[in-house]
Amino acid sequence: MKKMNGKNKGKLLVHIILIIGSIWMIFPFFWMILTSFKTFSETTRIPPVIFPKSFSFTNYATVFLTLPFKQFYINTIITSFTVTIGQIIVSTMAAYVFARLKFPGNKILFFIVLSVMMVPTQIFIIPQYMTMKYLHLLDSLPALIIPGWFSAFSVFLLRQFFMTLPIELEEAARIEGCGTFKIFYSIMLPLAKPGIIAASIFSILWSWNDLMWPLIVNNSMEKMTLAAGLASLQGQHLTNYPVIMAGAFLAVLPMLIIFLIFQKQFVEGIALSGTKA
């Protein structure tokens, strides 16, 4: 009897903490959506107007009328998915090597890989632009995709995951005569599923929201991604915030759905790693 009450009290406390936290988390998102229904005048009011007088969808209509939004979706989906697939392939291989394989230069090379994260990202703009120019890839989708295949963050994340996997499995496989790549592909990769999912979420997220690089390397509106295309709604002196918020919400909706799908995989992961051990 006592144990039951204790457990329920604990659960209630957990809920309370999580709910308070949630309100704090969703506030700006909620604000973004509300603003998307406001008129321009309402967004310049002091003190700010929280709820629009009327919930009209005109701003959403404007987004579709003034921008090739459908094309943006297509571009962003192609870019994000291609970046992620390529990045996972490149990163998992490299991460496994750094995590498990013994070879000269392991530590140094890994550190060099990490060092890529230790400089301001603006220093990459001009050299990458010149490289794209040299490859005749200016104003194209591959220009957006290819640099994204190489991510130090992703490699580091997956390396940590590989390092937590029990080494006995590999040793057993090696005794049976499996080659390194086979071990990687058939045994290690499936076990690292939670890590791969996390890395994928980050990759899609980063690629989905990337604004600066698409604007610099691409010229035509048809090659823009959602984030970059939305930025073009910012005028020099006059910015129609409600329309941008409407666009931002539309842009983010797929990300939310992707996340909801993916995060279910997290739960399945428990069953997987449990049985293996």
Judged by CB under 8 A, the chain residues 33 through 52 that form the site for another protein are: 35, 39-41, 44-48
- CA dist 53 and 55 (Å) reads 7
> Among residues 29 and 57, whose Cβ is nearest to another protein?
29
The number of beta carbons lying within 10 Å of the beta carbon of residue 66 is: 13
Cβ 213 to another protein shortest distance, Å: 10
- CA dist 132 and 139 (Å) reads 9
Token readout for 72 is 């943006």
Cβ 214 to another protein shortest distance, Å: 10
Q: Does 56 bind another protein (CB under 8 A)?
A: no
Give how far the C-alpha of residue 194 lies from the chain's centroid of Cα atoms, to the nearest Å.
15
> Among residues 26 and 61, whose Cβ is nearest to another protein?
26
> Among residues 58 and 106, whose Cβ is nearest to another protein?
106
How many residues bind to another protein according to rule CB under 8 A?
141
Helices in the chain by DSSP H: which ranges?
A: 2-36, 40-43, 58-66, 69-100, 106-115, 125-134, 142-145, 152-164, 167-175, 180-182, 189-191, 193-209, 212-217, 226-231, 241-276
Q: Which of positions 3-32 make contact with another protein (CB under 8 A)?
A: 10-11, 14-15, 17-18, 21-22, 24-29, 31-32
Residue 187: DSSP 8-state: I
CA distances from 257 to 13, 124, 152, 262, 264 (A): 29, 32, 26, 9, 11
Q: Which of positions 82-141 make contact with another protein (CB under 8 A)?
A: 82, 85-86, 89-91, 93-94, 96-98, 101-104, 106, 109, 111-131, 133, 136-141
> Among residues 73 and 81, whose Cβ is nearest to another protein?
81
Q: Does 145 bind another protein (CB under 8 A)?
A: yes
Residues 6+ apart with CB under 8 A from 110: 98, 159
> Among residues 57 and 101, whose Cβ is nearest to another protein?
101
- CA dist 113 and 155 (Å) reads 8
Cβ 87 to another protein shortest distance, Å: 10
Q: Which of positions 180-219 make contact with another protein (CB under 8 A)?
A: 180-181, 184, 194-195, 197-198, 201-202, 205, 209, 211-212, 215-216, 219
Pick one of 37, 161, 170, 203: the residue that binds another protein (CB under 8 A).
161
Helix (H) or strand (E) holding 176: none
Q: How long is the chain?
A: 277
> Among residues 55 and 263, whose Cβ is nearest to another protein?
263
Cis peptide bond N-terminal to 47, omega within 30: yes
Q: Does 164 bind another protein (CB under 8 A)?
A: yes
> Among residues 35 and 225, whose Cβ is nearest to another protein?
35
Pick one of 165, 203, 210, 225: the residue that binds another protein (CB under 8 A).
165
- CA dist 213 and 266 (Å) reads 32
